[in-house]
Amino acid sequence: MLYSSLNYLSKSESFKEAVIKGIAPDKGLYYPHEIKPLSKVIIKNLNNLSIHDIAYESIKQFIGDSIPKNKLKSIIQETLNFDFPLIKVDENNFSLELFHGPTLAFKDVGARFMARCLGFFNENYKEKITVLVATSGDTGGAVADGFYNVPGVKVVILYPKGKVSAIQEKQMTTLGGNITALEVGGVFDDCQDMVKKAFIDTQINKKIRLTSANSINVARWLPQMFYYFAGYQKASKYKLPVNFSVPSGNFGNLCAGLIAQKLGLPINHFLACTNINDSVPRYLKSGIYDPNPSVQTISNAMDVGNPSNFIRVQKVFNNDIHKLKKQVSGYSFNDNETKKCIKNIYENNKYILDPHGAIGYLGLKKFSKTNPNQIGIFLGTAHPCKFSEVVEKTIKQKIEMPKKLSKILEGEKKSIKIADYSQLKEYLLEN
Ligand SMILES: *Cc1c(COP(=O)(O)O)cnc(C)c1O
């Protein structure tokens, strides 16, 4: 399988090269040359297959010769070592809880898969690969945990000082080993800008091999399709059309669902749900893509003004907005609506939503008004305790913290403070 850059100015690459490069030299995102549907037999027998078998069947064409069959199978086994429960929230709507991995974020799936691929590709190299990543919170923890102790790979995470939650900070700063956290005096955009600068800095690139671990990397993006199969499998017993509602920021998650559908998973419809950073829902209404600068909200993992994977979403439909609109509806909700929803669902349905999942649920409620008698699945992208400040205040109730998180809170924070790009550069060149 070859990947081409969506800017079409760089040469096509294998999965391996696309993963190692992260982004094409022309700054385009990599996209697979072709997507062949799974055989009808597999789709018909979905319920008899394990999630590991489905994952293997669905991703093997995207890996091609880059990873041998048995190695790929073991990478999948290790990646998917936790479950994705489908929890009934109301009559027809369900939460697909993706937050039972080590850092309680759906990003664990992509990060664990990518870490193992990169570890394999780098086995025989003498030279280390450095994964450089900027985070507003959840990516940092998932990447740190996923890449911890992967031989030959060093991870450098930039996060904005004082702008991530206590849990998120501990997840990035307590592991040590091959994981380094740089605490940046600034906001997320400053971290992101520094990372972008480093990627095009010739002095740095002459000396070290850098790659990214954001959802622009195909090894983080594609495995996210696995849990759409898992959710569909669990919902199929209701014998009704199944819709997926995806709380979206950079749109990697939604785009992975679209790939699952292209492979033949009979998903009826997608809901692209955002907070007030609504560039994509506005586009779906007006046909004009006019991204705004990002605005801070309580669902902060989705505070993205110009989603990096939007170009892939368009590509899935050959850049035909009419086809896109047939499959995907857009909704956006503000913080007040989100809080009200968290409160209502807690009081009436005894289910605790996090602010991101709540936006997915709100989308389903709106959609089902004109589309009754269908199953709605929203992706539960993070455990509510990761956003406990907002959620506890809203439901006026303490949230129980899972044991694996309480343990992380006991670790000692170690970070290096940096103020500007020259300090990042110095760090990268000297370490
Ligand atoms: C990253 C994240 C999202 C957004 O996912 P995208 O793939 O960027 O659209 C949603 N919710 C949570 C909790 C996240 O961490």
216 within ligand 1 shell (Cβ under 6 A): no
pLDDT of residue 153: 94
pTM: 0.95
Residue 230 has pLDDT above 90, yes or no: yes
| pLDDT over 70, % of the chain | 100
pLDDT digits (tens, 9 = 90+) for 374-391: 999 999 999 999 999 999
Ligand 1 probe mutation, 250, 353, 361, most atoms within 8 A of CB: 250
pLDDT digits (tens, 9 = 90+) for 328-353: 999 999 999 999 999 999 999 999 99
Q: How confident is the model at residue 214 (pLDDT cuts 50, 70, 90)?
A: confident
359 within ligand 1 shell (Cβ under 6 A): no
For tokens 């495995």, name the residue: 223
State mean pLDDT over 11-40.
94
For tokens 């671990």, name the residue: 213
User: Which protein residue's CA is at the shortest distance from atom 11 of ligand 1?
Assistant: 381
138 within ligand 1 shell (Cβ under 6 A): yes
pLDDT of residue 100: 96
How far does the centroid of ligand 1 lie from the alpha carbon of residue 141, in Å? Answer: 13
| pLDDT over 90, % of the chain | 84
Pick the more confident residue, 293 or 176: 176
247 within ligand 1 shell (Cβ under 6 A): yes
Ligand 1 probe mutation, 106, 145, 308, 383, most atoms within 8 A of CB: 106
State mean pLDDT over 111-125.
92
Return all residues near 264 (Cβ < 8 A) that are at least 6 apart.
Answer: 37, 38, 40, 42, 43
pLDDT digits (tens, 9 = 90+) for 400-425: 888 888 888 889 999 999 999 999 99
State mean pLDDT over 269-282.
98
Q: What is the mean pLDDT of the chain?
A: 95
Pick the more confident residue, 112 or 25: 112
215 within ligand 1 shell (Cβ under 6 A): yes
User: Which protein residue's CA is at the shortest distance from atom 1 of ligand 1?
Assistant: 301
pLDDT of residue 199: 87
Q: How confident is the model at residue 293 (pLDDT cuts 50, 70, 90)?
A: confident
Looking at the CA of residue 255, tell me the nearest atom of ligand 1: 7
Looking at the CA of residue 250, tell me the nearest atom of ligand 1: 8
Residue 97 has pLDDT above 90, yes or no: yes
How far does the centroid of ligand 1 lie from the alpha carbon of residue 131, in Å? Answer: 20
Q: How confident is the model at residue 177 (pLDDT cuts 50, 70, 90)?
A: very high
pLDDT of residue 192: 84
C-alpha dist (Å) from residue 319 to 206, 312, 325, 329, 429:
37, 9, 11, 16, 41
